[in-house]
Amino acid sequence: MMVLLAMTVFVLSHLLIARTGLRATLIRSVGESTYLVGYSLLSMLLLAWVIAPLLAADRIALWFTPTWAYPFAAVITLLAFLLMGIGAMSPNPFSVGFRKVAFDPARPGIVGWIRHPLLWGLTFWGIAHIPANGDWPSAVLFIGTAVFGVLGIRALDRRKRKKLGEEQWRQLSRGSSHLDGNALGGLLLGLALWGVFLFTHPLLFRADPLGLLSAMLGL
């Protein structure tokens, strides 16, 4: 029950900020950089609140873990962290981002191909864990995260397109995609974060993905 409550608060907090004038008010009050730091900290704290009762909850099996689940999780989480790293390092007028440098529509980098790399990373992170976590309440977290990511992408596209107007939207999104310095730096950041989380996973989440993967492959 606590997992459902925490997940509901997590989703509603983001909807409240996105659907009301609260975001604009906070940015005017404290500045965009401070807002982004505060928003990120709030998201991490709420996610921690979701995970804490999940780790303590009784598990009810919903499906058996298939043999490909752990290799799948390793590969897709790597993709997720690479996308999140690129999203964090790339200027982006369409989506969530942390870089203050100006966006060049003629050289959009990875944003010319994927408008929402951070949100796609979050979505793939959720998808990666679904086959290997076939129990209640783990399914709540991972399926919920994947659905939240997809819905967030659609909502951001609608809101940004309406705010920018059709002409400016097309102008900003007409450049061809390429891997620039921001994307390459993001790839390195994502790879480093993936490695850190892979090795600290047993301590943080009481599950050893490397050990499970080795056992599944008979190594």
Question: What sign has the CA pseudo-torsion 78, 80, 83, 87?
Answer: negative
pLDDT, tens digit (0-9, with 9 covering 90-100), for 163-210: 878 877 777 766 566 677 888 899 999 999 999 999 999 988 888 887
> 28 and 115: one domain?
no
> 45 and 146: one domain?
no
Query: In whole angstroms, what is the distance from residue 183 CA to residue 188 CA?
Result: 9
User: What global pTM score does this model have?
Assistant: 0.85
pLDDT, tens digit (0-9, with 9 covering 90-100), for 114-148: 889 999 999 999 999 999 999 988 998 899 899 98
> 95 and 181: one domain?
yes
> 33 and 49: one domain?
yes
> 35 and 122: one domain?
no
Query: Which structural domain range is residue 43 located in?
Result: 1-57
Query: In whole angstroms, what is the distance from residue 131 CA to residue 22 CA?
Result: 37
Count of domains forming the chain: 2
> 114 and 202: one domain?
yes
pLDDT score recorded for residue 110: 81
pLDDT score recorded for residue 84: 93
In the listed set 18, 39, 57, which residue is the last one of a domain according to the structure? 57
> 207 and 144: one domain?
yes
